[in-house]
């Protein structure tokens, strides 16, 4: 994302390839609202694609959450994951 990255960060990312992780990736399909965790109102689709590519490259399971009912969708995904364990 920033064009440069310290080696220790890249090493930690590579370690994650061995971990069983699941991510919920939020689609930029609702109006942007400022808050301390949101990065940029102008490049949302580009950032989304960067995050999606990175998750795919790392081989992590991820689900895209979209629409207004994100919390409910996330709960359903998590519940299905718990039931499948």
pLDDT in tens, 34-50: 888 777 888 899 989 99
In angstroms and rounded to an integer, the radius of gyration of the C-alpha atoms of the chain is 15
Residue 79 above 90 pLDDT?
yes
pLDDT of residue 61: 93
Tokens matching residue 9: 């960060």
Alpha helices per DSSP H over the chain: 7-16, 44-58, 70-83
Residue in the block written with tokens 């919390």: 71
Q: Provide φ and ψ at 67, rounded to 5°.
A: 80, 180
Residue in the block written with tokens 């718990």: 82
Q: Which residues pair with 22 in a beta bridge?
A: 61
pTM of the model: 0.77
């Amino acid at each position: 994302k920033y064009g440069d990255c310290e080696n220790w960060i890249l090493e930690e990312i590579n370690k994650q390839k061995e971990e069983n992780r699941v991510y919920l990736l939020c689609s930029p399909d609702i109006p942007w609202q400022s808050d301390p965790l949101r990065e940029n109102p102008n490049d949302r689709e580009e950032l989304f694609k960067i995050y999606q590519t990175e998750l795919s490259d790392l081989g992590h399971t991820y689900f895209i959450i979209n629409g207004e009912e994100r919390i409910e969708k996330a709960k359903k995904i998590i519940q299905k994951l718990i039931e499948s364990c």
